[in-house]
Amino acid sequence: MKKVIVTGGAGFIGSHTVVELAAAGYAPVIVDDLRNSEERALTGLAALLGRAPVVHRVDCGDEQAMREVLEAEGEVHGVIHFAADKAVGESVAHPTKYYRNNIGSLAVLLELMRQRGIRSMVFSSSCTVYGEPKELPVDETAPDRNAASPYGFTKVACEQLLRDEVSASPMLKAVLLRYFNPIGAHPSGLIGELPRGVPNNLVPYVSQAAAGLRDRLIIHGADYDTADGTCVRDYIHVVDLAKAHVTALDWMGQRPAPLCEAFNLGTGRGNSVLEVVRTFEAVNGVPVPHAIGPRRAGDVESVFADTRRSAEVLGWRARLTLADALRDAWNWQRRLG
Ligand code: UD1
């Protein structure tokens, strides 16, 4: 079985990808120091996999520790690099932390991959690289240096680092996956998102408001130039997103190096914040207390993906709906209590 290093494999998208990798016959090896995830993710993974996942509890940005992990694991087919800081607001307050962690860890991994002859990387990028797109849906040829936050610029910088490294290393292959808004949870209810403290992202907040853990959701602005005045995003089920990583690895495996390609991962549909709230209420039969508040600094008005390239070139498309994702998010929240 081909071993795949999954940095951040105990996190939200990482844990779902570990499940899909195992189902596809890869051998996932998690590298995660659990700084932003919990033991519970590993217990859930063990239940889903039918065995304890392979986990190295180290910081993937620690070169010596990471070297030891790779030495211990022997032959490795590729690396999926999820581990990163991702809170937009925190990145504005602590930009150095973001540049150091997000770019530093990728640099360590690329250095070690070069030394050990590991040739494939799938990188977690984001639609944040497009900023506020001029045309919608946004395709991969749109200007991609328009991030609106230090977090976003770390993704722009990491994408550029990968392009430069591929130019310099004719044996290297990289796929840059630009996620739109990943939501939901595994339908089993065994793994899902585990936000620490007050959630920054919409769907965890909606779930907690429905569960009575928060007074009410504050909708960040209803005066945007959209159908109902609230912001529009492309919400994609985390299981669909996880499967795209397996597709990307398979696809890279059939192509010669050097290779560096970016793909949008979204559904191609845009939904407003109010549509998310109403769909959540309708599919789950629970009210989501909410109120309109002021705009959130740095928010983009509307962004949703042109998914043609990922469908035509990668052969991947999202199958699950917004309703599926919100049902699974609620199922997970109820188990969390
Ligand atoms: C942002 C980033 C994205 C990143 C993600 C990780 C941009 C453009 N997007 O996504 O790249 O991967 O954070 O954290 O930088 N909302 C409310 N009330 C809330 C929370 C959110 O109304 O309590 C609204 C927001 O204003 C937004 C929508 O819900 O319109 C989605 O917000 P969120 O889930 O935070 O994701 P993004 O900001 O789109």
pLDDT single digits (tens) 318-329 = 999 999 999 999
CB atoms within 10 A of CB 301: 15
- Phi and psi (nearest 5°) for 250? -60, -45
Residues 187 and 319: their CA atoms lie apart, in Å, by: 14
Amino acid (one-letter) located at 38: E
Structure tokens of 132? 């506020």
229: left (phi over 0), alpha (psi -120 to 50) or beta: left
Pocket lining: 200 vs ligand 1, CB cutoff 6 Å? yes
Pocket lining: 296 vs ligand 1, CB cutoff 6 Å? yes
Nearest CA to ligand 1 atom 18: 219
The C-alpha torsion from 17 through 149 and 60 to 25, rounded to 10°, is 10
Q: How sure is the predictor about 314, in pLDDT bands with cuts at 50, 70 and 90?
A: very high
Going from the Cα of 118 to the center of ligand 1, the distance in angstroms, rounded, reads: 34
Going from the Cα of 62 to the center of ligand 1, the distance in angstroms, rounded, reads: 30
β-strand 232-233 against 271-272: which pairing, if any? antiparallel
pLDDT of residue 226: 98
Q: How sure is the predictor about 26, in pLDDT bands with cuts at 50, 70 and 90?
A: very high
Is the per-residue pLDDT at 5 higher than 90? yes
Going from the Cα of 201 to the center of ligand 1, the distance in angstroms, rounded, reads: 5
Going from the Cα of 220 to the center of ligand 1, the distance in angstroms, rounded, reads: 10
Chain segment 248-304, per-residue pLDDT in tens = 999 999 999 999 999 999 999 999 999 999 999 999 999 999 999 999 988 999 999
Chain segment 31-82, per-residue pLDDT in tens = 999 999 999 999 999 999 999 999 999 999 999 999 999 999 999 999 999 9
Pocket lining: 219 vs ligand 1, CB cutoff 6 Å? yes
Q: How many CA atoms lie within 13 A of 56 on its CB side?
A: 22
Nearest CA to ligand 1 atom 22: 219
Our CA angle for 154, 59, 109, nearest 5°, is 60
Residues 24 and 77: their CA atoms lie apart, in Å, by: 14
Residues 229 and 213: their CA atoms lie apart, in Å, by: 27
Pocket lining: 299 vs ligand 1, CB cutoff 6 Å? yes
Report the pLDDT averaged over residues 190-197: 95
Report the pLDDT averaged over residues 105-109: 98
Three state DSSP letters for 296-308: CCCCCCECCECCH
Give me the chain's average pLDDT, please.
97
Pocket lining: 155 vs ligand 1, CB cutoff 6 Å? no
- Pick the atom of ligand 1 nearest to 293's CA: 22
Is the per-residue pLDDT at 337 higher than 90? no
Which residues, in sequence order, are CB contacts of 248 under 8 Å at separation 6+?
A: 122, 175, 177, 263, 314, 316
Q: By the 8 A CB rule, do 303 and 138 touch?
A: yes
Nearest CA to ligand 1 atom 12: 126
DSSP line for 69-83:
HHHHH-S--EEEE--
β-strand 78-81 against 120-126: which pairing, if any? parallel
Going from the Cα of 336 to the center of ligand 1, the distance in angstroms, rounded, reads: 22
Report the pLDDT averaged over residues 192-216: 96
Q: By the 8 A CB rule, do 17 and 80 touch?
A: yes
For helices 202-210 and 273-284, give the axis angle rounded to 10 degrees.
Answer: 40
pTM for this model (two decimals):
0.98
Is the per-residue pLDDT at 212 higher than 80? yes
Going from the Cα of 38 to the center of ligand 1, the distance in angstroms, rounded, reads: 22
Q: What is the DSSP letter of 138?
A: B
Question: Helices marked H in 169-285 — which ranges?
Answer: 202-210, 238-253, 273-284
Q: Residue 243: helix, strand or coil by DSSP?
A: helix
Q: Residue 228: helix, strand or coil by DSSP?
A: coil
Is the per-residue pLDDT at 148 higher than 90? no
Helix (H) or strand (E) holding 128: none
Nearest CA to ligand 1 atom 11: 128
Structure tokens of 240? 């669909």
Pocket lining: 273 vs ligand 1, CB cutoff 6 Å? yes
Pocket lining: 226 vs ligand 1, CB cutoff 6 Å? no
pLDDT of residue 146: 83
Rg (the chain; Cα; Å): 19
150: left (phi over 0), alpha (psi -120 to 50) or beta: alpha
Q: By the 8 A CB rule, do 120 and 171 touch?
A: no
pLDDT of residue 144: 87
State the burial class of residue 213 (Cβ atoms within 10 Å of its Cβ: 0-12, 13-18, 19+).
middle
Q: Positive or negative CA dihedral for 22, 26, 29, 32?
A: negative
Going from the Cα of 294 to the center of ligand 1, the distance in angstroms, rounded, reads: 14
Nearest CA to ligand 1 atom 15: 128
Report the pLDDT averaged over residues 204-227: 98
Residues acting as catalytic residues: 151
Among 273, 277, 280, name the best residue to mutate to test ligand 1's pocket (greatest count of ligand atoms within 8 A of Cβ).
273
Nearest CA to ligand 1 atom 35: 201
Q: Residues of the chain with pLDDT > 90: what percent?
A: 97
